Amino acid sequence: MLMRRVLLTLLFALVACCTWAQQRGPRMVFDTSTHHNFGDVKRKGGDLIKEFRFKNEGDAPLVIKKITKSCSCMTITYSRKPVMPGKSAVIKIKYEPHKVEEGIFHKAVQIYSNEPTSKVRLITIQGNSIDDKM
């Protein structure tokens, strides 16, 4: 009976320790979806801008190591400073539809950070670029 109690206590301690270890470090949590649909847009109607706000809900500074994009028709702006625990930051995407052909577009942005559980995050934008022929 004593041996059984000791084993159960050790098992509980191991599970608690593993759960606690998984929750440590920085954690990027977006306020809204990481996908945005611009819908139908005029190809020569100007740039499209979408901001994605996130918060570091972890217990260590969050560092964005790099961001890659699927098209030169996008400009990505973000702070290069670490995001401290409890603080928020923004990743701003500017899409320039006049730089690509008309039609449906689907673009991706990959965010590489120091998160221990998910080192790569994905943001996507989409829409339909229409030439305005009058």
Within-domain flag for 15: no
70 within a domain of the structure (yes/no) = yes
pLDDT value at 57 more than 90: yes
- Is residue 114 situated within a structural domain? yes
What is the Cα–Cα distance from 102 to 131, expressed in whole angstroms? 6
Assigned domain for 85 exists: yes
Q: In angstroms, how far is the first alpha carbon of the chain from the final one?
A: 87
40 burial level (CB within 10 Å; 0-12, 13-18, 19+): exposed
By residue range, what is the domain housing residue 113?
26-130
Q: Is residue 42 part of a domain?
A: yes
What are the CA-CA distances from residue 84 to residues 11, 46, 61 (Å)? 34, 35, 4
Confidence at residue 106, expressed as pLDDT on a 0 to 100 scale:
97
Joined tokens for residue 104 = 């449906």
Return the higher-pLDDT residue of 17 and 129: 129
Domain count, the chain: 1
Which whole number is the average pLDDT over 54-72? 96
pLDDT in tens, 4-53: 665 566 666 666 555 555 569 999 999 999 999 999 999 999 999 999 99
User: Which tens digit of pLDDT belongs to each residue from 74-112?
Assistant: 999 999 999 999 999 999 999 999 999 999 999 999 999
Q: What is the CATH number of the domain that holds 101?
A: 2.60.40.10
Q: Is there a domain that residue 100 lies in?
A: yes
In a domain, 73, yes or no: yes
